[in-house]
């Protein structure tokens, strides 16, 4: 039975403007899946002239994602379509419940994910891509955090090292990135570099997905903060 982290589209994340929070509907106390909310209306142009999003984000990196109900930008971890443990997350697309609500931009052939027609690089619907994310929403990350799909239009680059960042739950972001970096770098020894800057410690995310048919491939120089 897939682990379900369902959050109704009528709610806002924990810890983000309590006065704006309606009621939380959960099918499980463990995992919630957010329905996507486009920042731009259905009539928004898709020709790229006003596009400010990200169409090829790096799996394992942290981005900002717009949540329409609260009108806030939240930090999210961009998940690979396969091999989630490679970016520090246990489970799979199926166990997180994300495969059950697969966006139309994907094809799923027995667990092998690829872009549907029109969504490949250079094609007309590339700006309509959607990506799996895990939210830094104030819950115990990553065990209890909500997951969902975010439109390319609603993604922005993010610098987790910015000391003046006002992004909600920034300390949770830094804690996760630091712990992941330390776990991946035992060969550096106890006296090795333990920088809190995630963009210097994310080399392992380049292997986040080795399946050539999988849309999300980690960057060769993955930067967890951008």
Domain carrying residue 23: 5-207
Predicted pLDDT at 70: 74
Q: Are 159 and 166 in contact (CB under 8 A)?
A: no
Predicted pLDDT at 110: 81
How crowded is the C-beta side of 103, counted as CA atoms within 13 Å?
Answer: 23
Q: Is residue 224 part of a domain?
A: no
Predicted pLDDT at 126: 95
How far is Cα 105 from Cα 119, in angstroms, rounded to an integer?
A: 6
Q: Are 177 and 75 in contact (CB under 8 A)?
A: no
Predicted pLDDT at 163: 82
Q: Is residue 60 part of a domain?
A: yes
Q: Is residue 221 part of a domain?
A: no
Which among 212, 217, 163, 208 has a CA at the least distance from the CA of 184?
Answer: 208
How far is Cα 91 from Cα 94, in angstroms, rounded to an integer?
A: 8
Predicted pLDDT at 161: 87
Q: Is residue 193 part of a domain?
A: yes
Domain count, the chain: 1
Q: Which helix (H) or strand (E) holds 131?
A: strand 130-135
Predicted pLDDT at 4: 54
pLDDT tens for the chain, 226 residues: list them: 445 553 433 344 544 443 322 222 223 334 555 544 444 333 344 444 688 999 999 999 999 998 777 788 999 999 999 999 999 999 999 999 999 999 999 998 887 899 999 999 999 999 999 999 999 999 999 999 999 999 999 999 999 888 878 899 999 999 999 999 998 876 444 443 332 323 322 333 333 333 333 444 533 344 445 4
Predicted pLDDT at 112: 86
Q: Is residue 226 part of a domain?
A: no
Q: Is residue 225 part of a domain?
A: no
Residues listed for the chain:
226
Q: What share of the chain is helix, strand, coil (3-state, %, to 5)?
A: 20, 20, 65
Q: Is residue 212 part of a domain?
A: no
Q: Is residue 198 part of a domain?
A: yes
Predicted pLDDT at 28: 31
């Amino acid at each position: 039975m897939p682990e379900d982290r369902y959050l109704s589209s009528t709610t806002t994340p924990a810890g983000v403007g309590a006065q704006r929070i309606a009621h939380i509907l959960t099918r499980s106390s463990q995992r919630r899946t957010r329905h996507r909310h486009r920042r731009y209306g259905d009539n928004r142009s898709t020709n790229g002239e006003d596009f400010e999003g990200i169409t090829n984000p790096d799996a394992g990196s942290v981005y900002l994602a717009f949540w329409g109900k609260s009108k806030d930008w939240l930090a999210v971890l961009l998940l690979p379509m396969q091999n989630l443990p490679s970016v520090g997350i246990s489970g799979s697309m199926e166990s997180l419940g994300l495969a059950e609500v697969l966006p139309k931009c994907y094809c799923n052939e027995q667990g092998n994910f690829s872009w549907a027609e029109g969504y490949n690089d250079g094609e007309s619907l590339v700006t309509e891509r959607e990506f799996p994310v895990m939210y830094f929403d104030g819950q115990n990350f990553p065990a209890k955090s909500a997951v969902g799909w975010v439109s390319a239009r609603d993604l922005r680059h993010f610098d987790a090292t910015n000391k003046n960042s006002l992004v909600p739950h920034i300390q949770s972001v830094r804690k996760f990135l630091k712990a992941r970096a330390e776990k991946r770098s035992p060969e550096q020894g106890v006296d090795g570099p333990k920088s809190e800057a995630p963009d210097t410690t994310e080399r392992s995310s380049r292997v986040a997905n080795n399946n050539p048919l999988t849309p999300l491939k980690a960057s060769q120089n993955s930067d967890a903060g951008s």
